[in-house]
Structure 1
Amino acid sequence: METNNKKQKHATAYWKENLKYLAILLPIWFIVSYGAGILFKDWLDQFQIGGFKLGFWFAQQGSIYVFIILIFVYVRLMNKLDKKYGFDK
């Protein structure tokens, strides 16, 4: 019975750390996709990247690139977390 209790605490700690990662990555995704593409578009449009206004670029391309980068960051973090808690087998 003690082993089950230990496994449960182990799984709870794993889940809490996973939620911490999500609490960091999801706001980044929201700020880049909604903030840069919509809310801050007018301010960002005073800058250019590749001949396009930065607000337009984020709305069309930048938010997609950031989303893909966040996916890779999340995978890397979860792989490390799996190894830390022994779930990588």
Structure 2
Amino acid sequence: MMSKNVTLITYPEATLLKSYDTLVAFKSSAAVKVKWNMVTEQHYSKTISRHINEFFGGSEEAAEVDKVPQKTIDVVAKFLEEYHK
């Protein structure tokens, strides 16, 4: 179970992690052939870092995820939202 103040937005291709009001991570689903998990390189707070660690199954797993600019997470999220309207 995820912490409070966390929202998981699930699409067939991926799940997005929203911590408070900020999208901070992306995990591709099992249905996708090319796996690409990503997390924002922006550090917001210890709490959001904890949410990210929980999302990826632990701090060691989260450390292996590609770090990308916040803008990349925002663009991917917007694309998925528009694609699934």
TM-score normalized with structure 2 length: 0.31
Question: Which of the two has greater helix per residue?
Answer: 1
More strand by share: 2
